[in-house]
Structure 1
Amino acid sequence: MQNLSRAAHTASDILPYVAHTPEVRAQMLKTIGVKAIDDLFVDVPAHLRCESTGLPPPQSEIEVERNMKTMAALNLDASKAPFFCGAGCYRHKVPAAVDHTMQRSEWLTAYTPYQPEVSQGTLQALFEYETQVSRLLGTDFSNASMYDGSTACTEAILMALRLSGKKKNVLVSGGLHPHYKDTARTYLRMSHYGNMVEAARDVTGTENLISQLDANTAAVVVQNPTVFGHVIDMAPLAKACKKNGTLLIGVVTEPVSLGMIKSPGEMGCDIVVGEGQSLAGPMSFGGPHLGLFGCKAKFLRQMPGRLVGQTRDSEGKRVFVLTLGTREQHIRREKATSNICTSSGVMATSFSMHLSMLGEVGLQGLARHNHAQAVALAKAVKQVDGVKMLNKSFFNEFTVGLPGGVSAAKVVEKMAKRGVLGGVPASRLFGKPDDNLLIMAATEMNTPADNKALCAALRASL
């Protein structure tokens, strides 16, 4: 009883500290020798300081947990409702065997190891990953993974500018995901590498990038399928780029599509990047995700990140090593090929194991199933009065136009209240001009009952 009383007494003593009272803050400031919190930021120029963060006042851990749970309860969980959202992040079934297997000690890592001689299991998994990604993207080489699709795309642009010499313009397709554009724009603005030229957006997917090439175009960036879902043939553009001395960068945000669609590398792209989340793991509120990166052999020395290779040890046994990783920030500092790349090791391992379990035939079957689901969804949605299909081609995602004056964002909110997550409003990505456009995706996780529920909710919400 004595010990319990002492424990209770101690807990009551620390509550004021947990609550961050003014008295405690004053004591903390006195201890570190300043009069006010602002004194800690005197070295930051006044015009760069934020007057207010907009955050609520300090709370105890108990209060924070309670408030977070209240906010979380407002969400409609993707697993508890018909789900048709995509636009770069997709809900697929990753087998339980993947999660179980990759957590074995031989493979579990969050990062590419720097001591290859003691990390053979991890390095072998990444070696297999590189082989699979190279075949998937249609490139000669791929690296041992990157953060995510947007930073991989940015790395490809920076790499192309390094390779291009005096050419400083990068022509970016209007069908590239806006988040990828924003990431690239930020890095280009801060690095002074070059300029980003955005092609006019064309929702129908008929933009003519060839006519916009000029002598100063270092690279062209094209997503396939586009953010609006269009499937395009990049071969004519690749031919024009080669003639112009311009590098072509292909972007894939839905790797499952490569089970049906010709890879960017096969269509002539010099560098291919993408987002591997579809095959690596759940959506996870936006991360961690996985950046795919591959290129032609002649550009290998400018590829960012690490390359795992295999060789033989002194006893003739097969071993794995970090063959390429010398141009990173920890070695080359300001002369590094990249200062933003890193490896999503655990996601790369998951991606590789999922692909290994699927095999080539399995990936093709999964792709066909996804496309069939999207075709069924498109047929159902076209029966809703006022809804117009904007795609002539698509894989598992397409864009529809709602009746004039109808806000897609408001319709999505109404459908959510009816228990259906009906897609991504284009205005969420592009702003007000696309207020009536709705991007919908279907995967193997959708059922005919889901399609029926979507159409019912859409009719009611319109």
Structure 2
Amino acid sequence: MRYLPLTPADRAEMLGVIGADSVDALFADVPPEARLPGPVPGLPHHASEMAVERHMAALAAQNLAAGAAPFFLGAGAYRHHIPASVDHLIQRGEFLTAYTPYQPEIAQGTLQVLFEFQTQVARLFGTDVANASMYDGSTACWEAVAMAGRVTRRSKAVLCGGLHPHYVATIETMARFTGDQIDSRVPTLSAEPDEAGLIAAIDAATACVVVQYPDVLGRVPDLAKIAAAAQAQGALLIAVVTEPVALGLIEAPGKLGADIVVGEGQSLSVGLQFGGPYLGLFGCREKFVRQMPGRLCGQTVDADGRRGFVLTLSTREQHIRREKATSNICTNSGLCALAFSIHMTLLGGDGLARLARINHARAQQTAAALAGVAGVEVLNHAYVNEFTVILPRDAREVVRELADYGVLGGVSLGRLYPRQPELSNALLVTATETTTDQDIHALAAILGEVLANAHEGSPT
């Protein structure tokens, strides 16, 4: 039995108030080709619970799980070891069932967790302050662009060619509704990012320059040089970190002059999870804090002098007038933030540095093995745990053939940039502490076989 709480008269009255002719008019912004004229084709109208379970299990069995094969995927979502203690702690009832602290004075445990999380992110990013997390890295990136516009009262954002295309797409989607001008580019297959070209695009109308660190090809840009060029024009530098483990090995963006630092916290105990939920990280200079989106938890003392925590800043549209809000972010991925914070606590600063060195060593070992495969060229001069190789043919085909052998061999740039044929032979390879000697040997051996078979089968 369908549950329809509204009568036709109720719906007509609501449509009349908002000035819409029909419910369909509410979907005018959805392209017609993306709409379904009726039920999803091929699906039965009803099925038993057991039949649905059996069907879904059969579909799931077609997946190749990350832990069941040599795994070299990255590009913004990384496989790292998650300590058993993390899952044990986040599943405690007081954490698992907690929600947004709308009455913060009686949610001291939640506020303390968020306060500690903020401290860890600020230290990791090298920023003065950090907020209590956001949805994910891409939306945090857009929020940083919007914040830069409020700070500078400008509306142009210059995006580096090495910014992940999904982040670029998020920014461009939101900018359609705000009128911001987005100056974006695509990466070139060079060992070093095009910093001179990026700096040349900065002018007096620029609100911010957005630079991924390390970038989508695994290269490490010179943030200090870009920061100086941006700030000379009155613009802000936004640094984007999709792999926070890398910051155990390279300098924190805030220490290099970044005004706002955002990123994705998935690497540290959130897990791949088929793409989400993930965890947005956000830090900035203290002087910009009132323009920072999301929430900020602070420490204080109560009337008896005892340590306590408060919701210091919450400039969301749920709390203040919509036109005064800095964001409409309505959740802070609190459980993911807790997992991140527990993992960071277990590691400590020295542990994070050791983890990053292990990642780098595994990546070096992988790069050396691939460089020994006929027809393969390693692009990068410098990297942390992710680098790009150039193959003699389309990397998308190679990735599919590797998967047929049970190896998840990397992310093809042709998949990320389908309209850029000059990138089609590039493959982004990631190695972490979960990568074994056997994994590396399997990737190199099978890649060599796949490339050799293609060469033998080609016309002479």
Question: 1:62, CA displacement in angstroms?
Answer: 3.9
Deviations 1:379-436 (A, max 9, x none): 0011110011111111000111110xx2211111111111111011111111151221
1:202 matches 2:188: yes
- CA pair 377-157 structure 1, distance change in 2 beyond 3 A: same
Whole-Å Cα distance in 1 between the matches of residues 164 and 105 of structure 2? Answer: 40
Contact 1:271 1:295 in 2 (8 A): yes
Question: 1:55, CA displacement in angstroms?
Answer: 4.2
Question: What TM-score do the two structures reach when normalised by structure 2?
Answer: 0.88
1:221 matches 2:201: no
- In structure 1, the partner of 2:69 is 81
Deviations 1:279-318 (A, max 9, x none): 1321101111100000001100000010001111111110
- CA pair 299-287 structure 1, distance change in 2 beyond 3 A: same
Residue correspondence of structure 1 range 319-338 to structure 2 within 5 A? 319-338=308-327
Question: 1:51, CA displacement in angstroms?
Answer: 4.6
- In structure 2, the partner of 1:37 is none
Deviations 1:138-187 (A, max 9, x none): 1000000000000000000000011111x221000110001111111111
Question: What residue identity is the alignment partner of 2:347?
Answer: L
Residue correspondence of structure 1 range 166-315 to structure 2 within 5 A? 167-192=154-179, 194-204=180-190, 205-207=192-194, 208=196, 209-315=198-304
1:442 matches 2:422: no
Contact 1:159 1:302 in 2 (8 A): yes
Contact 1:107 1:125 in 2 (8 A): no
- In structure 2, the partner of 1:107 is 95
Question: 1:44, CA displacement in angstroms?
Answer: 2.1
Whole-Å Cα distance in 2 between the matches of residues 234 and 151 of structure 1? Answer: 22
Contact 2:316 2:328 in 1 (8 A): no
1:44 matches 2:31: no
Residue correspondence of structure 1 range 364-443 to structure 2 within 5 A? 364-403=353-392, 406-432=393-419, 433=421, 434-443=423-432
Contact 2:83 2:269 in 1 (8 A): no
Q: Percent identity at matched positions? A: 54
Question: What residue identity is the alignment partner of 2:187?
Answer: R
Contact 2:162 2:186 in 1 (8 A): no
Contact 1:110 1:344 in 2 (8 A): no
Structure 1, 218-227 or 324-333: larger mean CA deviation? 324-333
Deviations 1:211-236 (A, max 9, x none): 11111111000001001100122101
- In structure 2, the partner of 1:457 is 446
Contact 1:221 1:250 in 2 (8 A): yes
Contact 2:317 2:325 in 1 (8 A): yes
- In structure 1, the partner of 2:458 is none
Gaps of 5+ in 2: 10-19, 452-460
- CA pair 157-109 structure 1, distance change in 2 beyond 3 A: farther
SS at match of 2:253: coil
SS at match of 2:183: strand
1:152 matches 2:140: yes
- CA pair 302-135 structure 1, distance change in 2 beyond 3 A: same
- In structure 1, the partner of 2:42 is 56
Whole-Å Cα distance in 2 between the matches of residues 33 and 361 of structure 1? Answer: 64
Contact 2:315 2:327 in 1 (8 A): no
Contact 1:139 1:295 in 2 (8 A): yes
SS at match of 2:429: strand
SS at match of 2:372: coil
SS at match of 1:323: strand
Question: What residue identity is the alignment partner of 2:449?
Answer: A
- Number of positions where the alignment pairs a residue of Structure 1 with one of Structure 2: 428
Whole-Å Cα distance in 1 between the matches of residues 226 and 330 of structure 2? Answer: 28
Whole-Å Cα distance in 1 between the matches of residues 407 and 448 of structure 2? Answer: 12
Whole-Å Cα distance in 2 between the matches of residues 41 and 411 of structure 1? Answer: 51
Structure 1, 310-319 or 57-66: larger mean CA deviation? 57-66
Deviations 1:228-286 (A, max 9, x none): 10012210111111111010000000000000100110110000000000013211011
Contact 1:98 1:350 in 2 (8 A): yes
Question: 1:41, CA displacement in angstroms?
Answer: 9.1
- In structure 2, the partner of 1:125 is 113
Question: 1:131, CA displacement in angstroms?
Answer: 0.5
Question: 1:91, CA displacement in angstroms?
Answer: 0.3
Structure 1, 46-55 or 140-149: larger mean CA deviation? 46-55
Q: Based on CA coordinates, which of the two structures has the bigger radius of gyration? A: 1
Whole-Å Cα distance in 1 between the matches of residues 261 and 41 of structure 2? Answer: 41
Contact 1:108 1:122 in 2 (8 A): no
Whole-Å Cα distance in 1 between the matches of residues 86 and 186 of structure 2? Answer: 42
Whole-Å Cα distance in 2 between the matches of residues 442 and 246 of structure 1? Answer: 35
Question: 1:66, CA displacement in angstroms?
Answer: 3.0
Whole-Å Cα distance in 2 between the matches of residues 104 and 409 of structure 1? Answer: 43
Question: What residue identity is the alignment partner of 1:338?
Answer: S
SS at match of 1:329: coil
Contact 2:260 2:282 in 1 (8 A): yes
Contact 1:109 1:346 in 2 (8 A): no
1:316 matches 2:302: no
Structure 1, 237-246 or 337-346: larger mean CA deviation? 337-346
Deviations 1:30-67 (A, max 9, x none): x9679xxxxx9933239665354754333414443333
Contact 1:409 1:425 in 2 (8 A): yes
Whole-Å Cα distance in 2 between the matches of residues 41 and 95 of structure 1? Answer: 55
